[in-house]
């Protein structure tokens, strides 16, 4: 049963057959352990190392490479065979390592769930391992405890539980065992709204309570997450899918070429052994065996660059996947915002101060020296604000601590909301430590979730007491009431304070709260809430004399202190958006990527943040409760129009990602909690938070943001696009050159020519061009306006966007150039005719490598020095080619003849034909796209 929250405590105890006072007996525990099993998360059997290795070795492209290596061995080309086997082994080891690490998410979950717990058994309190908990156990809850199973609360006292790991909500949740069933909505509420429940994996941050265990192990909400992680089958990345397609096509083309060239040669009258070697050599040359190495090196270099930008890549294919992303689903807290509650608005009856405005932001002290306590210019101009801030600081348990390595900077310790009050007051010159020395706390009533208030009582100093200027502003307000000994400050929800306030502070004096003031204060509160702020009201009550009776009950003491209050005003707080996140969202839009906010926070807060960031042009929003009532088909129909999701559950997040994927999107999903793990694993690219993220989220993710910053995702997306561009350039370059070789060999027999290239020359070109030159393309810098282009379609072929067309027509042009030089020199019976073909091909491949560095920009614009490794590879390749032509021992090996200066010049001239054709094509492309605001795909 997952609806224990709907039952009152007596019904829960009855159904679980347990007693709140005595607990279970040892005999009952033994029986229930047999029935329910231990309170631990079980996992499905995972693939062993051999199974993972076999999967790596049976990938289509790898099989083609293994066949190519075996053929190389048959040709006694042991160097080429060794290189191919090394590439296969390297990729297999890397793949096995990645998959093994990726399976550790459940282990992290199990660690999270292990703890000890205090239970009532056999009418006595015992401390046992959480693994031994069973449904019906009565558990004692204390501050700092980890909830070790799912509980229904039986008793609670100021109980607060941090549930962000499950719900995504940044604030601790108030818990109340006495929540009325009628207060619960008729439809099933999200976890965050089940205030009489506590769930495995959450932390008790305040108060105490008593609870009964309702679910254990895999039946808990955390267990459901674990099950969801195991059932999610990650899809191959777009790059893996495209490379598999390429492998199949290359295998088919290679087999066709082997039979075609072998048959044509025999018909031409060539020797059987020569034609076999030629056909097989061409088949090996046609396969881009350097591709896996280029992909691995390109991804690894991209991962290193991303690490410098605070993005840690756990799985290399994820680097490229980022470049394919069409939707980024991002959490709000800490990613789009600073994860730092900040007071941004002060409201009194006669004052409104927006602390984010330029004039007031400038008035805030960075940090005044706490020993001097100088008031900020803002407080000097409006001293009444000091009264509001003093109430918020004194009725507060948060503290300021100096940064360890920056003693003049401070951070708040305690509740984030209270910390925001203390920090803001300090920036205005009111330091809590000094305030408490002048107005010491003598009594307090801690925050109560039922009435949503907290009260502290302070004694007043003698009027003549010397004090810093900032505190004079505060004490001068107290003097207005004449001879008073104590003052009580109350902080809480505005509605709660209005119920017990009889006056409002106006122009330095109290006025009766009438209907006008009630309406005005409530409207102000509602407006701040609509702007996504968390609003706290501050009130006070002066006492001419006050005796605190230690024996008085909490309720009686609270009734004494919390009546006839004077309402001072309100403080609006918000987790401010990251400045760089605004720019990143705008860049996403320019790049054709849709940002989507998925958060556990309140809908109004989500809307306000999304509006400020520019995530959506309208305020369309879907809550988790509404989403749960939609069918999968209905969600798929709406998912294109909704960019804000609030109050979501773990299943909701998974449903959103799946719906987007069904619509054909490549989805990136960020998350930091246990609740995010299934969606992170389901997404095409799962992104965990490095600072606030749980181990579970990090293990399930493909990438970890070390700075929890949305802008880092966009920077990584840029890297992903660049990496995919470079892989496409490699494929286009190597297959175009190989196509040129194939065309000249296929067409030569039709012109009566013998074989233009011998097998060893083919393999030599393959080694230089597909090795040195092609690898240097993997470090090509990104092209201009790379983030002004729309994402490529998820189902796009690797030959799309002109790559296949270029391979055919440029390859054919190169083949015709080579055929022309071969026929001209062979028909004039010059012994150097094959060397001319060999050299023209080598020089053409060098020029192609340089001009194919960009799909649009001319080489003369980007410059030779912008890719120095490629320039070095070109110079080295040129030197090696000249060695083959002019060194006698190599002439014998490669059957070449030395070329005259004129012949060498002709080779240079002919090699520029293909270079010029590619540059002309790019010039036509630039003319076509000139003036476009967004680059075409």
What does DSSP say about strands 116-121 and 410-413: parallel, antiparallel, or unpaired? unpaired
Please, is 371 exposed, middle or buried when counting C-beta atoms within 10 Å of its C-beta (0-12, 13-18, 19+)? Answer: exposed
User: Cβ(739)–Cβ(812) under 8 Å?
Assistant: yes
What does DSSP say about strands 116-121 and 138-142: parallel, antiparallel, or unpaired? antiparallel
φ and ψ at residue 619, rounded to 5 degrees: -100, 30
Sign of CA dihedral 798, 803, 807, 809: positive
Q: % helix / strand / coil in the chain, to the nearest 5? A: 55, 15, 30
Compute the half-sphere exposure of residue 835: CA atoms within 13 Å on the CB side of its CA. 22
**189: its two tokens:** 């509420």
What stretches of 2-104 show up as alpha helix (H) in DSSP? Answer: 9-15, 26-36, 49-57, 60-74, 78-102
- Cβ neighbors of 921 (< 8 A, separation 6 or more) are 806
Q: Each residue of 23-42: b (16+ CB within 10 Å) or e?
A: bbeeebbeebbeebeebbbe
DSSP 572-636: EEE-PBPHHHHHHHHHHHHTTPEEEEE-SS-HHHHHHHHHHHT--SS---EEHHHHHTS-HHHHH
φ and ψ at residue 208, rounded to 5 degrees: -150, 170
φ and ψ at residue 900, rounded to 5 degrees: -75, 170
Question: 174, 193, 219, 331: which one is catalytic?
Answer: 331
CA of residue 209 relative to chain centroid, distance: 36
What is the C-alpha R_g of the chain? 36
Q: Which residues make beta-bridge pairs with 671?
A: 688
Q: Each residue of 713-722: b (16+ CB within 10 Å) or e?
A: bbbbbbbbbb
The Cα 709–Cα 712 span in angstroms is 5
Q: How many CB atoms lie within 10 A of CB 894?
A: 18
The Cα 818–Cα 821 span in angstroms is 5
Sheet bearing 311-313, strands edge to edge = 311-313, 703-705, 685-689, 667-671, 327-330, 594-598, 644-646, 622-623
The Cα 641–Cα 620 span in angstroms is 8
The Cα 269–Cα 97 span in angstroms is 52
User: Cβ(229)–Cβ(700) under 8 Å?
Assistant: yes
193 is annotated as an active-site residue: no
Sign of CA dihedral 604, 610, 614, 619: negative
User: Cβ(622)–Cβ(638) under 8 Å?
Assistant: yes
Compute the half-sphere exposure of residue 684: CA atoms within 13 Å on the CB side of its CA. 26
What does DSSP say about strands 124-129 and 197-198: parallel, antiparallel, or unpaired? unpaired
Closest to 525 in 3D by CA, of 501, 498, 503, 505:
498
What stretches of 103-220 show up as alpha helix (H) in DSSP? Answer: 105-113, 164-167
Q: How many CB atoms lie within 10 A of CB 479?
A: 11
The Cα 231–Cα 671 span in angstroms is 19
List active site positions. 331
């Amino acid at each position: 049963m997952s609806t224990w929250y709907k039952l009152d405590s007596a019904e829960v105890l009855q159904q679980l057959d347990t007693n709140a006072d005595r607990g279970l007996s040892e005999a009952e525990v033994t029986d229930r352990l047999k029935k329910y099993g231990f309170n631990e998360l079980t996992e499905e059997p995972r693939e062993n190392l051999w199974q993972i290795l076999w999967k790596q070795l049976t990938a289509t492209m790898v099989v083609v490479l293994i066949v190519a290596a075996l053929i190389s061995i048959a040709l006694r080309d042991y160097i080429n065979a060794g290189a191919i086997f090394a590439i296969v082994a390297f990729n297999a080891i890397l793949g096995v390592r990645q998959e093994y690490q990726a399976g550790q998410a459940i282990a992290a979950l199990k660690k999270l769930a292990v703890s000890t717990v205090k239970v009532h058994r056999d009418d006595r309190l015992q401390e046992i391992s959480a693994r031994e908990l069973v449904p019906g156990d009565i558990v004692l809850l204390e501050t700092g405890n980890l909830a070790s199973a799912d509980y229904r609360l039986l008793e609670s006292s100021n109980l607060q539980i941090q549930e962000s790991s499950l719900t995504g909500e940044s604030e601790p949740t108030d818990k109340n065992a006495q929540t009325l069933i009628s207060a619960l909505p008729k439809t099933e509420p999200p976890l965050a709204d089940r205030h009489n429940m506590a769930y495995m994996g959450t932390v008790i941050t305040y108060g105490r309570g008593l609870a009964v265990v309702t679910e254990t192990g895999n039946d808990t909400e955390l267990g459901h997450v674990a099950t969801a992680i195991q059932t999610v089958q990650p899809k191959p990345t777009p790059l893996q899918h495209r490379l598999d397609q390429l492998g199949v096509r290359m295998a088919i083309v290679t087999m066709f070429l082997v039979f075609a060239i072998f048959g044509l040669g025999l018909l031409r009258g060539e020797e059987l052994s020569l034609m076999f070697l030629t056909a097989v050599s061409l088949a090996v040359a046609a396969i881009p065996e350097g591709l896996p190495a280029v992909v691995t090196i390109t991804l690894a270099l991209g991962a290193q660059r991303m690490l410098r930008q605070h993005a840690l890549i756990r799985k290399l294919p994820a680097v490229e996947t980022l470049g394919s992303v069409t939707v980024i689903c991002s959490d709000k807290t800490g990613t789009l915002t600073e994860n730092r509650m900040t007071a941004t608005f002060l409201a009194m009856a006669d004052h409104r101060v927006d602390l984010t405005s330029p004039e007031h932001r400038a008035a805030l002290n960075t940090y005044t020296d706490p020993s001097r306590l100088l008031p900020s210019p803002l407080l000097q101009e409006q001293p009444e604000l000091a009264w509001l801030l003093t109430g918020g600081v004194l009725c507060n348990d948060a503290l300021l601590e100096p940064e360890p390595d920056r003693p003049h900077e401070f951070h708040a310790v305690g509740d984030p909301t209270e910390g925001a009050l203390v920090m803001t007051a300090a920036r205005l010159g009111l330091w809590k430590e000094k305030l408490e020395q002048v107005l010491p706390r003598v009594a307090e009533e801690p925050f109560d979730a039922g009435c949503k208030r907290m009260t502290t009582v302070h004694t007043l100093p003698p009027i003549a007491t010397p004090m810093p200027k900032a505190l004079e502003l505060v004490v001068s307000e107290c003097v207005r009431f004449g001879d008073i000994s104590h003052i009580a400050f109350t902080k809480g929800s505005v509605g709660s304070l209005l119920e017990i306030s009889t006056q409002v502070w106006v122009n330095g004096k109290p006025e009766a709260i009438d209907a006008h003031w009630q309406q005005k204060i409530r409207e102000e509160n509602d407006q701040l809430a609509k702007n996504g702020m968390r609003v706290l009201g501050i009130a006070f009550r002066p006492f001419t004399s006050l005796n605190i009776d230690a024996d008085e009950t909490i309720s009686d003491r609270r009734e004494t202190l919390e009546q006839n209050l004077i309402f001072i005003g309100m403080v609006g707080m918000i987790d401010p958006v990251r400045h760089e996140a605004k720019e990143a969202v705008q860049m996403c839009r320019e790049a054709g990527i849709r940002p989507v906010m998925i958060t556990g926070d309140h809908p109004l807060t989500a809307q306000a943040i999304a509006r400020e960031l520019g995530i959506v042009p309208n305020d369309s929003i879907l809550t988790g409760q509404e989403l749960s009532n939609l069918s999968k088909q209905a969600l798929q129909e709406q998912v294109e129009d909704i960019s804000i999701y609030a109050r979501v559950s773990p299943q909701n997040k998974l449903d959103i990602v799946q719906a987007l994927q069904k619509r054909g999107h490549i989805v990136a999903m960020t998350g930091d909690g246990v609740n995010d793990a299934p969606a992170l694993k389901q997404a095409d690219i799962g992104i965990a938070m490095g600072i606030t993220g749980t181990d579970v989220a990090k293990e399930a993710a493909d990438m970890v943001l070390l700075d929890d910053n949305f802008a880092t995702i966009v920077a990584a997306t840029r890297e992903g696009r660049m990496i995919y561009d470079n892989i496409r350039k490699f494929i286009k370059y190597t297959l175009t050159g190989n196509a040129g070789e194939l065309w000249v060999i296929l067409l030569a027999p039709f012109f009566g020519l013998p074989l233009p290239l011998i097998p060893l020359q083919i393999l030599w070109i393959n080694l230089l061009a597909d090795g040195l030159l092609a690898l240097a393309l993997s470090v090509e810098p990104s092209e201009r306006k790379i983030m002004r282009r729309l994402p490529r379609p998820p189902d796009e072929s690797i030959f799309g966007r002109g790559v296949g067309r270029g391979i055919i027509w440029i390859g054919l042009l190169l083949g015709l150039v080579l055929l022309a030089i071969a026929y001209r020199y062979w028909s004039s019976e010059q012994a150097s005719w094959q060397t001319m073909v060999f050299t023209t091909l080598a020089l053409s491949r060098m020029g192609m490598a340089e001009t194919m560095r960009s799909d649009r920009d001319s080489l003369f614009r980007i410059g030779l020095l912008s890719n120095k490794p490629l320039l070095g590879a070109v110079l080295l390749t040129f030197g090696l080619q000249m060695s083959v032509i002019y060194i006698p021992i190599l002439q014998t090996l490669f059957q070449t003849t030395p070329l005259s200066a004129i012949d060498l010049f002709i080779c240079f001239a002919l090699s520029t034909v293909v270079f010029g054709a590619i540059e002309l094509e790019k010039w036509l492309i630039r003319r076509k796209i000139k003036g476009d605001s967004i680059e075409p795909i």
